[in-house]
Structure 1
Amino acid sequence: MIDGNSLLGTFALVRYSVANATLSVMVDGVGQRASIQVDQWPFISTTICTGSTCSWEQIRSAELLQEFLRGNNMTLQVSLQGDNMVGPLRMSLRGFAQQYQKALQVQQGR
């Protein structure tokens, strides 16, 4: 999923790795904290940020994955160094479950 705001020059790339069972987000800037909310469920945050990439530990990634599979929309916010913020960026989760199933099949060698 890619979303951005061309007027502000910011972008975000949200990635779920089937192989590593982890969720990460890459932003334009140095991340300090990233938060994702699916529909009206609570935000799930992480402070595991290295440079422009923030990632969630496997247990939190698994929680977010389940929410992605059930949900309709997600909201992403990332706090950057210097008190800057990316987001809130809202993205549809339409088609996520089908793409996830395809990725699982590829990972399992089918």
Structure 2
Amino acid sequence: MNLATKKWVFLKLSSIILVPLMLWFIINFISVYDGDYSEVVSFFSNKTNKFIFSIFLIFSYFFSSLSISEVFEDYISNEKTKYVANRLLYISAIIIPLLTIIILLNLK
């Protein structure tokens, strides 16, 4: 299986996984939207909510990085620039969710 096919398969699989996670996020976001800080902290203090939100973050950044890398492939003609843009994108898609999850885990 070549790289383009793998990207396409991963894009489709992650989008299928993201549908129920997005529904969960929307329903829970509505419930804590008008809440004060303590309600939001109490929501994210629940281990189940932390876990599901962490999975949601990982898959959303994975999905978005794959999608944006396809845009880079289509619209950036310089190979060096495309390489650097993709690497920075993948690094940020790892670091941002990781930092967010670490902050969530430290929430009490």
Give me the TM-score of the superposition, normalised by structure 2.
0.28
- Which has more strand, going by share of residues? 1
Question: Which is higher, the Rg of structure 1 or of structure 2?
Answer: 2
Q: Greater relative contact order: 1 or 2 (C-alpha under 8 angstroms, separation 6 or more)? A: 2
